[in-house]
Amino acid sequence: MYNKDTKKDVRYMKFIKKNKFTIIAIVCFLILMLLAVQIKNVFFPSDGGAIYGDRLDGIDKVRISKSKLNKIEDKLNENENITEVDTFIKGKILNVIVTINDAVSLEDAKNIPNTVVEQLNGDQKDFYDIQVIINKENESSQFPIIGYKHHSKDNFSFNKDREEQAEAES
């Protein structure tokens, strides 16, 4: 009275009974692997993703070339009060580090970042944040100062003004 389907069912049942520990081990391994992937996703959600997320979308259209950075450095070096200039880009921040001689006043130093902005075109000004760090050759209580311009703003803002602090120390 056995039909073909019944014979197959019996064969499967015998196979399962014979290899039940192997099947249990495989199922447990698969469950553990799925749990491990889920745990990894919880603790490392952005693994392999872009560091800056989508903030750099469109940077290819307004990229600042190495020749543009050299042009900025050359323009700043035309000022006889500037002794050293270094420029580099990190993400969407244009960093400029300037060393000036000791004769330059704080107010004159605050005009230096405008030279950097003048060298950029409109799209670059609207995309990049600009940070200018101004040091003096010798140690000073008013320096270094940092000027920062957000891409949506027109003017630089400087770290706390140290002029009052220097007068208080005198």
CB within 8 A of 87, min separation 6: which ones? 69, 72, 73, 94, 95, 96, 97
- Whether 20 and 71 map to the same domain: the answer is no
Tokens (6 digits) for 48 = 């392999």
Largest Cα–Cα distance in the chain? 111
79 occurs within a structural domain: yes
- Domain match, 82 and 117 both: yes
Taking only the tens place, the pLDDT of each residue in 59-80 is 888 888 899 999 999 999 998 8
63 and 39 in a single domain? The answer is no
pTM for the full predicted model: 0.64
- 162 located within any domain: no
Q: What CATH number does residue 91 fall under?
A: 3.30.70.2960
pLDDT in tens, 112-128: 899 898 888 888 888 99
Do 82 and 30 reside in the same domain of the chain? no
For residue 98, what are the contacts with CB-CB under 8 A and spacing of at least 6? 76, 82, 84, 85, 112, 132, 133, 134, 135
Residue 131 counted as domain residue: yes
Claim to verify: residue 145 and residue 65 sit in the same structural domain:
yes
**Domain extent at residue 117:** 59-157
